[in-house]
Each structure stands twice: as structure tokens, then as C-alpha cells.
Structure 1
Amino acid sequence: MDIFMHILWNNVLPLSVIIGLGMLLHRIFSLDIKTLSKLNFYLFSPAIMFELLYGTAISAKLFGQVLLFFVLFMLLQYALLEAVVRARRYEGGMRAAMRNSVLFYNSANYGIPINQLAFSGNPYTLSVQIIIMMMQSLIPNTYGIYSVNAHKADWRKIRRVIASMPVIYVIPLALLMRGLHVPLPEFAAISVGYLSDAFIGMALFTLGVQLGDMKGFLTRKLALDVGIATALRLIAGPLLAWGVVLMLGLDSLMAAALIVSSAVPTSLSSVLLAVEFDNEKDFASQSVLVSTALSIVTVTVVIYLLRG
């Protein structure tokens, strides 16, 4: 019960307040969601990624082990997801939206606090979570962009869009500067810090604006699709992660950190992609909202079982 209340009070409720403010202000002022989306993609997201990677010491061995887990985990998730997509006969933009809602999970503003809660601020498990967050930032800005545009644009146009995403340049830059011990000027560090601090609030606010833009309640079909995406994310996710860590024979602490990292709800990036490229925005928004609400129970169960 303590874990449940901690997640509710320190993770879900703060998120809900900012989402609610986005919904309210959009209803009052009709905010431009495209502008908010671009601020997230081109400014705030690259800043938080640079700050975390530049400021965290990560060994090559740890990086390799987590990366191997992540590749295997994503392949298994994709295989399961593809079976569901084919069984449900999703087409066009809905195929991409379903994939994004399951494959992209909230490893930043939800995953990092949960990691700190579950492992009492352990720097080793935090490093594991930061590597997962790095990959979960890179993939939406590459594969995610391709998936939401593949049914309506040619490869050359999609490639130009992907090449314009700052995150794909920020990640190697931060790692290179860290590895070569290149100092960041104080004024630049302060600026990056300000932008990084704005990421979580702006992403949640954007989700609220999108929810506020919805014209009605969930239809029966949309509710079923959201339910499927949520089950794949919150239940199948940690089960697949458990299988992968057993297969790799990872040490117990890393294994626990990776399982917890896989149990978090759908990422805000799925909504940002849906908004930016006009692809199943209502489904993406509801998937984030429902999975975040239900994660109070599922994440608590995962942490409890790992502690046992």
C-alpha cells in the first residue's frame, strides 16, 4: 500500500495536474498544438537528453549489456505487437499508432522517478535507466517518424524529416564530449539546464491540450484498441523483459532495474508524433492517459514482486 500511495501521490497526481491545466487552457484559449509539439521535438527533448548523457558516468560494459537487453526486448515486443496488428487487421496510420503506443514507453519523467523509488536512489540502476531513456528518445525520432509517415509519404521526404530531428545529433555529441572530457561553458550549461527542466512540464501540457481538443468521449472501437495497447504495454512489457533478463543471465540488480524500466506506461512521444504528423491523435492521447492511470496498480505489483 505504501508503494501504491507513493506512485499515486508523487508520480500520477503531479502528471495529472499539468495535463488538466493543458485541457483547461486549451478550452479557454484554443492553443496552437502544432507549435507546442515543435517546441518539444526541437528544443526541450534534445536539451534533457544532452544534460543527462553529458552528466552521467556510464561504463562501456554497462552500456553494452543494457543495449543488448534493449535490442532483444524491442524485437520480442515488436513480434508480439505485429501478431496483434495482423489479427486486428489494422491499416495505415492505425498500424503505426498502435506500434508507437506499445514500443515507446515513458522512460523519462515516469521511469526515472520510479527507478529512484524502487532502488532507493541507487546510482547504478539510475545509469541503467538513463541508457534506456536514451534509446527511447532515439527510436521515436527515427523509426517513429518513419512509421507514422510510411503510408502517406515517400522515403526521401521521410528521410529529410528524420534528418531534421536534433536528438539524433545530440546523443552522439553528448557521449563524445563526455568521453573526451570536453568542458561545457558555464553559460551553455545554465541554458541547457533551463531547457531541460522545461521538458517534462511542456510534454505533459501538450498531452493535456490534445485531450482538450478531442470532440467527444471514446467510441467502443477506440476503447477496445486503447485497452489492447495498454495491456501490451503494462502487462506484456514486464513479462517479456523478465524473459529477456533470464535468457541473458544478468545480475539481479540490473535485471530488476530493466524489468521496472519496461513496466512504465506509454510515452508522451507517441502523442507528440501523432500531433506533429496528424496521425490518430485521439487514440494516442487516450493510450497515454489510460496506461498512466492503470500503471498505478501494475507498476506497484511489479515492484512488489521484485522485492519479494
Structure 2
Amino acid sequence: MNYFSHILINNVIPLSIMIALGALLYRLFKLDIRTLSKLNFYLFSPAVMLKMLYESTISFAILGQVLLFFAVYFTSLFVMTEGVIRVRGLKNGMRTAMRNSIIFYNSANYAIPLNQLVFVGDAFTLSVQIVIMMMQSLIPNTYGIYSVNSEQKDRRLVWRTILTMPVIYVIPVAFLLRGFHVPIPAAIYTPIGYIANAFSATALLTLGVQIGSMKWKLRFSDVLLSNTMRLLVGPLLGFGIVLAFGFHGPLAQALVLSCAVPTSLSSVLLAVEFDNEPEFASQAVFSSTIFSIVTVTFVIYGMRLFVH
């Protein structure tokens, strides 16, 4: 019950308030969601990625284990999702929107505070989550953009769009700066910190603006399918992979917990930026965030019992 109330008070309610404010601002001022989307892709997301990777203390040995886990987990989840999409008979843009709502999960402004709550501010488990966040930022900015534009005949335009995404350059730069202990001048690092701190608020407001502009034709069965795959199948798959690899201790627990979080705001940003089922994407993010109060609590209890 303690985890339930803590997740509700410290994660879901604050997120919901920010989303509600975004919806209210849209109703009052008709905010331009395209502008908000571009701010997230080209400014806030790269800044938070640079700051977190630059400040991370994870070793290369642990980095390799986390990347191995993520590669197997992501591939397995992708294959399972493709099977569900085919059985469901989804077509065109809806296939991509459903896939993105399952394989892209909220590894930043939900998973990081959750990680620090469960592991009581442990620096090691935070570093594990930051690596997961790195991959969950890189893939939507590469494969995610490619997938939502896959219907375009001119693939050169798609690749040109991908190559304009700052995140794909920020990640290697951050590792190089950290690896060679290169100090970033305060005059540069201070504004990076300001921008990074605004990431969560802007992303949540963007989701709220999208929800405020929707006609609210609820896609109940599709949203339920997405939530089931993300919140139930996702963490169960994570459990299985951790046990198969023989991981244990805080590393194993942090990896399992990273799989339990709701659908990422990246799926909404991609849907809005490239006009690919934005209403479904918004409903999937919002509902999975609410339902995660219950599912994440059960994952935490299960993690404590079966992952040592």
C-alpha cells in the first residue's frame, strides 16, 4: 500500500496536473502543438540526454550488461508486438502507432524518480536507468522517425529528417566528454541545465495540449491492447530475460523495474510531429500512466520476491 500511495502522490498526480494544465492552456489560447513538438525534439530532449550521460558514473562493464539486456528485451518485445498487430489486423499508420505505444516506454520523467524511490536514491541503479533512458531516446529519434514515415516514397527525405535529430549526435559527444574528463565551461553548462530541467514539464504540457485538442473518440479496444502489452507483458518479459541471463541484485531489480513503466511521451511527440494517429497515442500514454499505479506496485512486490 505504501508503494501504491507513493507512486500515486509522487508520480501519477504530478504528471496528471501537468497534463491538465496543458489541456487547459490549449482551451484558453489554442497553443500550437507543432511548435511544442519541435522544442521537445530539437532542444529539451538533447539537453537532458547530454546532462544525464555526462554526469553518469556507470562503468563500461555494467554498461555492456545493460545494453545486452536492452537489446534482447527490445527485440523480443518488438517481435511479440508484431505478432499482436498481425492478429489484430491493424493497417498502415495504426500499425506504427500501436507498435510505438508498446516498445517506447517512459524511461525518463517517470522511471527515473520511480527508480530513486524504490532504491532509495542509489547511484548505481540510477546509472542503470540512465542507460535505458539513453536507448529509449535514441531509438524513437531514429527507428521511430523512420517507422512513422515508412509510407513515403522518397526514403532520402526520411533519412534527412533522422539526421537532423540532435540526440543522435549528443549521445556520443556526452560519452566522449565524460570518458576524457573534458570540463564543460559553466557559461555553456548552466543553460544546458536550465533547458534540461524544463524537459519533463514541456513534454507533459505537449501531451496535455494534444489531449485538449482531441475530439475524444475513445479507441477502447486498441488502447486496452496497448496498455496490456506495455504494463503486463512488458515487465513479465523483463523478468524472464533477467532470470535467463542469471542477473541478480540491484542490477537485475533495476532492469526489471525499467520494463514496468507506462508508454513514453515520445510516442505522442512522434504521432503529433508526423501526424500519425495522435489521438490514439495520447490516449495510450494517459491511460497507461493511470493504470501503472496498480501494475507497477505489483511489479515491485514481485521483484522483491523473485529477483535477488
Partner of 2:28: 28
Counterpart code for 2:194:
Y
Q: CA RMSD in A?
A: 0.8
Counterpart code for 2:293:
I
Counterpart code for 1:267:
S
Partner of 1:268: 265
Structure 1, 269-278 or 209-218: larger mean CA deviation: 209-218
Partner of 1:39: 39
Aligned residue for 2:276, secondary structure, equals: coil
Structure 1, 82-91 or 289-298: larger mean CA deviation: 82-91
Aligned residue for 1:182, secondary structure, equals: coil
Measured after TM superposition, the shift of residue 152 of structure 1 is 3.0
- For residues 304 and 68 of structure 2, the distance between their equivalents in structure 1, rounded to whole angstroms, comes to 24
Partner of 1:185: 185
The question of 1:305 aligning with 2:267 is answered no
Pairing partner for 2:228 from 224, 227, 231: 231
What are the superposed Cα offsets for residues 6-35 of structure 1, whole Å, 9 maximum, x if unpaired?
000000000000100000110111110000
Q: Relative to structure 1, is the Cα distance of residues 234 and 2 closer, same or farther in structure 2, using a 3 angstrom cutoff? A: same
Partner of 1:63: 63
Aligned residue for 2:198, secondary structure, equals: helix
- For residues 302 and 73 of structure 2, the distance between their equivalents in structure 1, rounded to whole angstroms, comes to 20
Counterpart code for 2:247:
L
Counterpart code for 1:36:
L
Contact 2:22 2:212 in 1 (8 A): yes
Gaps of 5+ in 1: none
Counterpart code for 1:22:
G
Counterpart code for 2:87:
A
- For residues 228 and 251 of structure 1, the distance between their equivalents in structure 2, rounded to whole angstroms, comes to 31
- For residues 246 and 75 of structure 1, the distance between their equivalents in structure 2, rounded to whole angstroms, comes to 17
Measured after TM superposition, the shift of residue 121 of structure 1 is 1.0
| TM-score, normalization by structure 2 | 0.98
Partner of 2:4: 4
Tell me the percent identity.
Answer: 60
Partner of 1:206: 206
- For residues 190 and 217 of structure 1, the distance between their equivalents in structure 2, rounded to whole angstroms, comes to 43
What are the superposed Cα offsets for residues 131-178 of structure 1, whole Å, 9 maximum, x if unpaired?
000000000000000110002343211100000000000000000000
Q: Where in structure 1 do 4 or more consecutive aligned residues deviate above 3 Å? A: none
Aligned residue for 1:71, secondary structure, equals: helix
Counterpart code for 2:266:
S
| TM-score, normalization by structure 1 | 0.98
- For residues 287 and 277 of structure 2, the distance between their equivalents in structure 1, rounded to whole angstroms, comes to 16
- For residues 229 and 132 of structure 2, the distance between their equivalents in structure 1, rounded to whole angstroms, comes to 19
Partner of 1:129: 129
Contact 2:210 2:278 in 1 (8 A): yes
Measured after TM superposition, the shift of residue 202 of structure 1 is 0.1
The question of 1:118 aligning with 2:118 is answered yes
Measured after TM superposition, the shift of residue 307 of structure 1 is 2.1
What are the superposed Cα offsets for residues 93-132 of structure 1, whole Å, 9 maximum, x if unpaired?
1111011100000000000011011111111111100000
Contact 2:216 2:279 in 1 (8 A): no
Measured after TM superposition, the shift of residue 304 of structure 1 is 1.5
- For residues 21 and 236 of structure 1, the distance between their equivalents in structure 2, rounded to whole angstroms, comes to 32
Alignment map for 1:108-187 (pairs within 5 Å):
108-187=108-187
Counterpart code for 1:288:
V
- For residues 245 and 290 of structure 2, the distance between their equivalents in structure 1, rounded to whole angstroms, comes to 32
Partner of 2:274: 277
Counterpart code for 1:268:
L
